């Protein structure tokens, strides 16, 4: 961590922690807290890929993270726009700040953009949540995962399948380190705090309800598929109340396809905008069933023991199926309906919590990062 400059003065080079989109905040928060408690100088950098208060600011408040030190304000746009603009701006920041290391998480455009910049500038980069693969290259995140893992220096994996995928891609063994699932650290750190959320009362929810989240382009950017999913929800809604915190992409597409009113007419459905983390954890942990296409929710429901039905054809998180409570159903309305109704009748799939999803992942990550900097720093 200590860096001796040309004139013999000792300085501390910072670690840059990168966040950009909603699922990044709950992965970086425990790493930030752990590194800070060890006295490490940190720069929290937000690319601004997500920017609405309820997709960004609320998470800093809920997760007890300080305001970002650097806000790039990239905003929405095409994949090339987002990735390219983050790269151009991030390169300038790295030149100015001279970090000892950069930490990126997950599989969003901000992740791959910052990782490529590090690789070209010779800055050590650690990828948290490395090795996940859906083997579906139509999914933008799959491209981001493959590119990020091919050039990041430290590949910190959440589960053994991650290690295996990286080995199969020819990645050197010393770059692969299993640390566990850091998103579960945030979940455990905040379960008790979430109990004080009043969201169930505020929404006037019934005792039994399900949660729905949707935002994958493969589901909501295709009118026919989106309408098919809604037809399944129209049947499920007769059996259990559905709470639907709608992602901005989904709201935009529902309105564009004139499907919004149809969703709002599903029996007893409660549509909200995206909700904050503590409210969402409160909603999820008290629900009977989760229907989703989110990556993170497949993991959180496995940790909470709540049955999860995933409206995708595949998953990059197969351990949630083999060990956890997740069932992959795709977007066939008949299968969505029958699996959901069956889960409501039987109580749904039970499972166990995967190894190293123990709330101590940030501690292991900090050990790895500090050890790497001490042994490889300039
Ligand atoms: C992104 C990630 C995805 C992740 C998801 C989490 C990529 C390629 N995709 O998808 O992996 O699962 O975030 O939520 O990085 N919008 C707003 N306000 C915001 C943010 C977005 O209105 O604060 C709207 C805009 O219309 C925008 C659209 O949502 O065009 C999509 O946003 P974008 O960041 O491009 O992708 P997501 O679908 O959010
Ligand atoms: N989440 C939230 N509010 C919501 C929906 C989700 O706080 O309205 C949290 C959820 O608990 C998880 C993360 O956001 O921690 C998942 O983000 P998202 O589904 O957007 O992304 P993905 O995991 O699919 O990349």
Instruction: Domain count for the chain, please give it.
Output: 2
> Do 342 and 364 belong together in one domain?
no
Residue of minimum CA distance from atom 37 in ligand 1:
249
* Pair 16, 96: CB distance under 8 Å: no
The residue ranking higher by pLDDT, 261 or 4, is: 261
- CB of residue 23 inside a 6 A radius of ligand 2: yes
| pTM of structure | 0.97
Kindly state the average pLDDT of the residues 6-10: 48
CA of 9 to the centre of ligand 1 (A): 44
188 occurs within a structural domain: no
Q: Percent of the chain at pLDDT above 90?
A: 96
Identify the band that residue 2 occupies on the pLDDT scale cut at 50, 70 and 90.
low
Closest residue to atom 6 of ligand 2, CA basis = 280
Q: Whose CA is nearest to atom 9 of ligand 1?
A: 108
Residue entry with tokens 């166990």? 352
Q: Which ligand is nearest to the CA of 312?
A: 2
- One domain, residues 20 and 84: yes
For 302-355, what is each residue's pLDDT tens digit? 999 999 999 999 999 999 999 999 999 999 999 999 999 999 999 999 999 999
Q: Whose CA is nearest to atom 4 of ligand 1?
A: 108
Pairing of strands 154-157, 70-71: unpaired
In terms of domains, do 61 and 21 share one? yes
Write a three-state SS string for the chain.
CEEECCCCCEEECCEEEEECCHHHHHHHHHHHHHHHHCCCCEEEEECCCCCCHHHCHHHHHHHCCCCCCEECCCCCCCHHHHHHHHHHHHHHHHHHHCCCEEEEECCCHHHHHHHHHHHHHCCCEEEECCCCCCCCCCCHHHHHHHHHHHHCCEEEECCHHHHHHHHHCCCCHHHEEECCCHHHHHHHHHHHHHCCCCHHHHHCCCCCEEEEECCCHHHHCCHHHHHHHHHHHHHHHHHCEEEEECCHHHHHHHHHCCCHHHHHCCCCCEEECCCCHHHHHHHHHCCCEEEECCHHHHHHHHHHCCCEEECCCCCCCCHHHHCCCEEECCCCHHHHHHHHHHHHHHCCCCCCCCCCCCCCHHHHHHHHHHHHHHHHCC
Ligand lying closest to the C-alpha of residue 285: 2
User: Which segment of 1-5, 22-26, 28-32, 335-339 scores lowest on mean pLDDT?
Assistant: 1-5
> For 272-281, what is the mean pLDDT?
98
Confirm if 197 and 282 have CB atoms less than 8 A apart: yes
pLDDT at 351 (0 to 100) = 97
Question: Which domain CATH number covers 41?
Answer: 3.40.50.2000
User: Does residue 6 have a pLDDT over 60?
Assistant: no
274 lines ligand 2 (CB under 6 A): yes
Residues annotated catalytic, as ranges: 215
Nearest ligand (C-alpha, residue 86)? 1
Interval 202-215: pLDDT, tens: 999 999 999 999 99
Give the pLDDT band (50/70/90) at residue 8: very low
For the cut 60, the answer to whether the pLDDT of residue 11 exceeds it is no
**pLDDT bracket for residue 289 (50, 70, 90):** very high
Q: What is the mean pLDDT of residues 266-278?
A: 97
Centre of ligand 1 to C-alpha 31, Å, is 23
Instruction: Decide whether any atom of ligand 2 lies within 6 Å of the 300 Cβ.
Output: yes
Which residue's alpha carbon is at the smallest distance from atom 15 of ligand 1?
108
Is 365 in the same domain as 309? no
Q: Is the pLDDT of residue 249 over 50?
A: yes
Do 36 and 122 share a domain, yes or no? yes
Q: For residue 238, how far is its CA from the centre of ligand 2 (angstroms)?
A: 26
SS (H, E, C) 334-357: HHHHHHHHHHHHHCCCCCCCCCCC
90 touches ligand 2 (CB under 6 Å): no
Residue of 22, 50, 316 to test ligand 1 pocket, by largest number of atoms within 8 Å of CB? 50
For the segment 41-96, what is each residue's pLDDT rounded down to a tens digit?
A: 999 999 999 999 999 999 999 999 999 999 999 999 999 999 999 999 999 999 99
Mutation test of ligand 1: which of 18, 19, 21 has the most ligand atoms closer than 8 Å to its C-beta?
A: 21
Alpha-carbon distance of 57 to 223, in angstroms, equals: 31
Question: Mean per-residue pLDDT for 225-246?
Answer: 98
Ligand 1 centroid to residue 137 C-alpha, Å: 18
351 domain residue, yes or no:
no
Q: Is 275 in the pocket of ligand 2 (CB under 6 A)?
A: yes
Q: Is residue 53 part of a domain?
A: yes
265 lies in the same domain as 299:
yes
Same domain flag for 329 and 292: yes
Position 296 in a domain: yes
Q: Please, which residues have CB within 8 angstroms of residue 303's CB and are 6 or more apart in sequence?
A: 181, 184, 187, 188, 324, 353, 357
| Residue 99 domain boundaries | 2-180+358-376
Indicate whether 172 pLDDT > 70: yes
Q: Is residue 352 part of a domain?
A: no
Which of ligand 1's atoms lies nearest the C-alpha of 110? Answer: 15
- Within this chain, do residues 112 and 216 fall inside the same structural domain, yes or no? no
Residue 169 sits in the same domain as residue 310? no
Is 218's pLDDT higher than 50? yes
Q: Is the CB of 296 under 6 A from ligand 2?
A: yes
In a shared domain, residues 218 and 138: no
**Strand partners for 338:** none
pLDDT score for 68: 98
User: What pLDDT, in 10s, does the model give residues 95-120?
Assistant: 999 999 999 999 999 999 999 999 99
Mean pLDDT of 126-136: 98
29 C-alpha to ligand 1 centroid (Å): 20
Question: Residues with Cβ within 6 A of ligand 1?
Answer: 21-23, 49-52, 55, 76, 107-109, 140-141, 215, 247-249, 252
Both 292 and 204 in a single domain?
Answer: yes
Q: Ligand 2 atom 2: the closest Cα is on which residue? A: 277
**How large is the average pLDDT for residues 16-29?**
98
Q: Whose CA is nearest to atom 7 of ligand 1?
A: 108
Distant-in-sequence, close-in-space partners of 184: CB < 8 Å, separation ≥ 6: 299, 300, 303, 357, 358, 359, 361
- pLDDT at position 12 is 79
Is-contact 108 135, C-beta < 8 A?
A: no
∠115-119-122 over CA atoms, to 5°? 130
Nearest to 15 by CA among 156, 123, 157: 123
């Amino acid at each position: 961590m200590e860096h001796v400059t040309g004139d013999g003065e000792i300085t501390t080079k910072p670690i840059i922690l990168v966040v950009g989109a909603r699922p990044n905040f709950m992965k970086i928060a425990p790493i930030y807290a752990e590194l800070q408690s060890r006295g490490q100088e940190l720069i929290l950098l937000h690319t601004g890929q997500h920017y609405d208060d309820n997709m960004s600011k609320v998470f800093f408040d809920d997760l007890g993270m300080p305001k970002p030190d650097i806000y790039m304000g990239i905003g929405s746009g095409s994949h090339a726009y987002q990735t390219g603009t983050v790269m151009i701006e991030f390169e300038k920041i790295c030149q100015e700040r001279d970090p000892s290391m950069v930490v990126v998480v997950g599989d969003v455009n901000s992740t791959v953009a910052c990782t490529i910049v590090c690789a070209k500038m010779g800055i050590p980069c650690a990828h948290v949540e490395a090795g996940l693969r859906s083997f579906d290259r139509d999914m933008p995140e799959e491209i981001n995962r493959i590119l990020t893992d091919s050039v990041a220096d430290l590949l910190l994996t959440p589960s053994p399948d991650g290690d295996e995928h990286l080995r199969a891609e020819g990645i050197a063994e010393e770059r692969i380190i299993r640390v566990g699932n850091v998103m579960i650290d945030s979940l455990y750190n905040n379960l008790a705090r979430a109990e004080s959320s009043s969201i169930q009362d505020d929404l006037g929810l019934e005792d039994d309800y399900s949660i729905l989240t949707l935002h994958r382009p493969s589901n909501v950017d295709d009118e026919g598929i989106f309408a098919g999913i809604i037809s399944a929800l129209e049947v499920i809604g007769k059996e259990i109340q559905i709470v639907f915190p709608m992602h901005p992409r989904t709201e935009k597409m529902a309105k564009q396809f004139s499907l919004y009113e149809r969703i709002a007419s599903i029996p007893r459905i409660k549509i909200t905008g995206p909700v904050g983390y503590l409210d969402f954890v409160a909603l999820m942990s008290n629900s009977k069933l989760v229907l989703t296409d989110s990556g993170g929710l497949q993991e959180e429901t496995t940790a909470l023991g709540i049955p999860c039905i995933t409206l995708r054809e595949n998953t990059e998180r197969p351990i949630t199926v083999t060990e956890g409570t997740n069932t992959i159903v795709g977007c066939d309305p008949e299968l969505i309906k029958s699996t959901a109704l069956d889960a409501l009748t039987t109580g749904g799939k039970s499972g166990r919590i995967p190894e190293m999803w123990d709330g101590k992942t940030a501690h292991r990550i900090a050990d790895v990062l500090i050890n790497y900097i001490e042994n490889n720093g300039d």
